[in-house]
Amino acid sequence: MNAPLENRLFDPAEALPADALRSLQTRRLAETVARVSRVPFYREALARVGVTPESIRSPDDVRRLPFTVKDDLRRNYPLGLLAVPRAEVARVHGSSGTTGKPTFVAYTRKDLEGWSGLCARFLVAGGLRPEHLVHVAFGYGLFTGGFGLHQGIERVGAGVIPAAGGNTPRQVMLLRDLRPEVLVCTPSYALHVAEVARAEGTDPRDLGLRLGHFGGEPWTEEMRLAIEGEFGIAAFNNYGLSEVVGPGVSGECAARGGMHVAEDHFVVECVEPVSLEPVPDGVVGELVFTSLTKEAMPILRYRTRDLAALDRSPCPCGRTGVRMGRVVGRSDDMLIIRGVNVFPSQVEEALLRVEGAAPHYLIEVARPGTLDEAVVKVEIRPRDFSDEMRQMVDLRDRIDHEIHSVTGIRMKVELVAPNTITRSEGKARRVLDHRKERR
Amino acid sequence: MKIRQLSLFLENRPGQLRVPCKILGDAGIDVLTMSLADTQQFGILRLVVKDSEAAKKALEAQGVVVNLTELLAVDVPDRPGGLASVLEGFEKAGLSVEYMYPFARGPRATLLFRVEDPERAEKALSQHGVQLVPAAELLARTAAR
């Protein structure tokens, strides 16, 4: 591994003292409420709850605002939530729209500047310096990843190779020949690049990369270790979504104890996904963001469906922005079993701990009497099958133990034969909730 | 010398035992002996057949999880204390028996033993004067019937 990173701030605002941050947030929240009253959707929603810009006295007043969900964006397709005249739009991006029509977001010139500054923050926090050359293997297009990171890198003053997505052998060639110090892509693509490099006879460690900034999808600590081992780099996590701004909402510093949220640009809340009440720090809940500086398309209390915990303890790096942990799942997938919130991703994490790779599993929940019962069916892999009953029982017990330690509840673990859990459209179904069938 | 055994993973629900038996039947493979170990939730079916490679192939082609392991076959003297004297051979060598079951065919009382170290067990038993049945002879006995 490389020498420890020198801690450097891109923007002094990253280390604003708490008082200064709160008064800045209050002022900007009031401005945002004023700005969105030009949008019919928000004007009506604000009128219903009786919030005016003048009534905003602290950042906590954000809780009086109405929530916004993905469907609100769809209902206002394509640009119904625009808060500035169309002539002021400098760029349009969009979500992938895997489940139907894409949703669009718009930026003014000033929005683009603010956004590139946010990307520059996490890039510098994670070691990017003006003398570096960065290989960006994110798609350039409606997706915010490519252009967002590209602008951020240029803002830092570093060089960019806009490799974009696809054609992995060519990506390996670019990495080998141009020798960038930094790789930017999704974590799963980084592992794929390493695989392809290896298949071509190039040791990924010989590419000379030193840093990686990965985002665009949830990943695990195990993946971080795998990527760092493959390339011999330090790997950093960043977070963002187009509805909020794109990448740059938060990112890791050298301490890597969570991603610092740019709180001078966003108010973040962490809520229980059903009651929508705030959860205590350290407890996983759904992240909700309110933009504070966006002009073209400000957003109020956007429910991200992303599940993570917040950490307000001081960070050794000196940044004051609250840190969010890794995204551990989506609230759409959440199960409530005997009153405890459980996510399929937690079961997956437990299985990874036991076997070293994610096998196929299915969580079945039923309520035969008055209590919920959860059964996890885990497919065994031929190489895990032992002729010894003791070893098989031991395998089941270890899975049982890990699931209990990760989720906090007991589930009945059943080992099942390979390929017996139904797969649909290439994606395995993870949950079968029989309780819903009776309602 | 050693006997090859197929171990199959079975879920503990109706019809699961029939599946591998049907596959072997369709492939024309004769089961010489078998033993079923089970927990509440899953089972391990252990089989000895003539052509273990062909059986493994046929089963795996149908998605059955199969493991190949080696057993020792011992003709146990048919008299009081006969089995005890055989077990003494394992014990003296400090080898534990994982499980055992009878070889159902043939004229003698033959037991199949699964032990942690078949190589060492083989030597230890021979030294102890226990008669081990080589695989070829065991299979020949079934053909002679």
B74-127: pLDDT as tens digits: 999 888 998 999 999 999 999 999 999 999 777 788 999 999 889 999 999 999
Residue A416 and residue B66: Cβ atoms within 8 Å?
no
Is the residue at A365 inside a domain? yes
Are A324 and A361 within one domain? no
Residues of B in contact with A362 (CB under 8 A): none
Q: pTM for this structure?
A: 0.72
On the question of pLDDT at A424 being above 60, the answer is no
Quick one: which of A340, A109, A345, A125 has its CA closest to A236?
A: A125
pLDDT attached to residue A357: 54
CATH number for position B86? 3.30.2130.10
Tell me the per-residue pLDDT of A137-149, one tens digit each, with 9 for 90 and over. Answer: 999 999 999 999 9
On the question of pLDDT at A433 being above 80, the answer is yes
Are B110 and B123 within one domain? yes
pLDDT attached to residue A188: 84
Residues A70, A95: Cα–Cα separation, whole Å: 10
Residue with tokens 């055992």, as numbered in its chain = B100
Are A250 and A371 within one domain? no
Domain total in chain B: 2
Residue with tokens 């102890």, as numbered in its chain = B128
Tell me the per-residue pLDDT of A269-320, one tens digit each, with 9 for 90 and over. Answer: 999 998 999 999 999 999 999 999 999 999 999 999 999 999 999 999 999 9
Q: What is the DSSP string of A388-432?
A: -HHHHHHHHHHHHHHHHHHHSS--EEEEE-TT-S-EETTEEP-EE
Alpha-carbon separation of residue A430 from A256, A361, B67 (angstroms)? 30, 6, 28
Q: Which residue, of B20, B43, B69, is where some domain finishes?
A: B69
Are A221 and A165 within one domain? yes
Domain total in chain A: 2
Is the residue at A84 inside a domain? no
Q: Which residue, of A331, A347, A364, is where some domain finishes?
A: A331
CATH number for position A358? 3.30.300.30
Three-state DSSP class for A135? strand
Distance of CA A414 to the CA centre of its chain: 32
Are A325 and A343 within one domain? no
Tell me the per-residue pLDDT of A162-204, one tens digit each, with 9 for 90 and over. Answer: 999 889 999 999 999 999 999 999 998 999 899 899 989 999 9
Nearest-CA residue of chain A relative to B46?
A387
Q: Which domain holds residue B46?
A: 3-69
d(CA A399, nearest CA chain B) in Å: 15
- The encoded tokens of residue A130 equal 């003006």
pLDDT attached to residue A425: 44
Are B50 and B77 within one domain? no
Which of A387, A415, A416 lies nearest to residue B7, judging by beta carbons? A387
- The encoded tokens of residue A110 equal 């000033």
CATH number for position A176? 3.40.50.12780
On the question of pLDDT at A41 being above 50, the answer is yes
Are A366 and A237 within one domain? no
On the question of pLDDT at A2 being above 60, the answer is no
Residue count (chain B): 145
Is the residue at A61 inside a domain? no
Residues A152, A123: Cα–Cα separation, whole Å: 8
pLDDT attached to residue A288: 98
Residues of A in contact with B67 (CB under 8 A): 385-387
Are A215 and A236 within one domain? yes
Which of B5, B63, B69 lies nearest to residue A418, judging by beta carbons? B63
Nearest-CA residue of chain A relative to B43?
A389
Q: At CB < 8 Å, which residues of chain A contact B?
A: 380, 382, 385-389, 392-393, 396, 414-420
Residue A418 and residue B66: Cβ atoms within 8 Å?
no
Which of B5, B37, B67 lies nearest to residue A389, judging by beta carbons? B37
pLDDT attached to residue A426: 44
Are A142 and A280 within one domain? yes
Are B77 and B111 within one domain? yes
Are A160 and A96 within one domain? yes
Are B126 and B76 within one domain? yes
Quick one: which of A153, A157, A328 has its CA closest to A239?
A: A328
Residues B10, B44: Cα–Cα separation, whole Å: 6
Q: Which of the pair, A433 or A311, is modelled with greater confidence?
A: A311
Alpha-carbon separation of residue A259 from A130, A202, A278, B124 (angstroms)? 22, 33, 19, 62
On the question of pLDDT at A346 being above 50, the answer is yes
Q: What is the DSSP string of A231-289?
A: HT-EEEEEEEETTTTEEEEEEE-TT-SSEEE-TTTEEEEEE-TTT-PBPPTTS-EEEEE
On the question of pLDDT at A207 being above 70, the answer is yes
Is the residue at A25 inside a domain? no
Are B56 and B84 within one domain? no
On the question of pLDDT at A1 being above 70, the answer is no
Residues A400, A392: Cα–Cα separation, whole Å: 12
Are A140 and A282 within one domain? yes
Residues of A in contact with B10 (CB under 8 A): 417
Best to test chain B binding among A379, A380, A381, A388 (most B CBs inside 10 Å) = A388
Question: What percent helix, strand, coil does chain A show, rounded to 5?
Answer: 35, 25, 40
Residue with tokens 């990506």, as numbered in its chain = A171
- The residues that bridge with A133 in the sheet, in sequence order, are A159
| Contact status, residue A250 vs residue A244, Cβ threshold 8 Å | no
ipTM of the prediction: 0.80
On the question of pLDDT at B139 being above 90, the answer is no
d(CA B37, nearest CA chain A) in Å: 8
pLDDT attached to residue A57: 97
Are B79 and B136 within one domain? yes
| pLDDT, chain B, mean | 90
Q: At CB < 8 Å, which residues of chain B contact A?
A: 5, 7, 9-11, 37, 39, 41-42, 44, 46, 63-67, 69, 98-99, 114
Cβ-based neighbours of A350, under 8 Å, separated by 6 or more = A399, A402, A403, A405, A406, A407
Are A119 and A175 within one domain? yes
On the question of pLDDT at A376 being above 50, the answer is yes
Eight-class DSSP state of A384: G
Residue A392 and residue B64: Cβ atoms within 8 Å?
no
pLDDT attached to residue B41: 82
pLDDT attached to residue A419: 75
pLDDT attached to residue A380: 86
d(CA A388, nearest CA chain B) in Å: 8
Are B126 and B136 within one domain? yes
Q: Which domain holds residue A144?
A: 12-16+89-331
Strands A211-214 and A182-185: parallel
Residues of B in contact with A394 (CB under 8 A): none
Q: Which residue, of A331, A354, A370, is where some domain finishes?
A: A331
pLDDT attached to residue A436: 66
Are B109 and B123 within one domain? yes
Nearest-CA residue of chain B relative to A420?
B63
On the question of pLDDT at A3 being above 70, the answer is no
Calculate mean pLDDT across residues A98-110. Answer: 85
Are B81 and B117 within one domain? yes
pLDDT attached to residue A14: 97
| Contact status, residue B55 vs residue B7, Cβ threshold 8 Å | no
Are B20 and B77 within one domain? no
Three-state DSSP class for A346? helix
Is the residue at A77 inside a domain? no
Which of A385, A396, A418 lies nearest to residue B67, judging by beta carbons? A385
Alpha-carbon separation of residue B139 from A69, A80, A181, B107 (angstroms)? 71, 81, 66, 12
Eight-class DSSP state of A87: G
On the question of pLDDT at A246 being above 90, the answer is yes
Three-state DSSP class for B7? strand
pLDDT attached to residue A4: 63
Residues of B in contact with A382 (CB under 8 A): 65-66
Are B89 and B110 within one domain? yes
pLDDT attached to residue A98: 56
Which of A385, A386, A419 lies nearest to residue B63, judging by beta carbons? A419
Which of B10, B39, B67 lies nearest to residue A387, judging by beta carbons? B67
| Contact status, residue B141 vs residue B106, Cβ threshold 8 Å | yes
Are A349 and A312 within one domain? no
| pLDDT, chain A, mean | 91
Q: Which of A48-57, A420-429, B81-90 has the lowest mean pLDDT?
A: A420-429
Write the burial class of residue A344 (CB in 10 Å: 0-12 exposed, 13-18 middle, 19+ buried).
Answer: buried
Residues of A in contact with B52 (CB under 8 A): none
Q: Which residue, of B69, B87, B118, is where some domain finishes?
A: B69
Burial B18-55 (b: 16+ CB within 10 A, else e): ebbeebbeebebebbbbbebeeebbbbbbbbbeebeeb
Are B65 and B93 within one domain? no
Residues A324, A327: Cα–Cα separation, whole Å: 8
Task: For the beta carbon of residue A144, count every other beta carbon within 10 angstroms.
Answer: 28
Calculate mean pLDDT across residues A41-59. Answer: 96
Is the residue at A245 inside a domain? yes
pLDDT attached to residue A383: 81
Which of A388, A393, A418 lies nearest to residue B65, judging by beta carbons? A418
Are A99 and A208 within one domain? yes
Residues of B in contact with A385 (CB under 8 A): 7, 9, 65, 67
Quote the percentage of chain B above a pLDDT of 90.
64
On the question of pLDDT at A336 being above 50, the answer is yes
Q: Which residue, of B69, B101, B122, is where some domain finishes?
A: B69
Q: E strands, B29-106, where?
A: 31-38, 42-49, 66-75, 97-103
Is the residue at A28 inside a domain? no
Is the residue at A187 inside a domain? yes
On the question of pLDDT at B16 being above 60, the answer is yes
Q: Which residue, of A310, A331, A352, is where some domain finishes?
A: A331
Strands A285-291 and A302-308: antiparallel
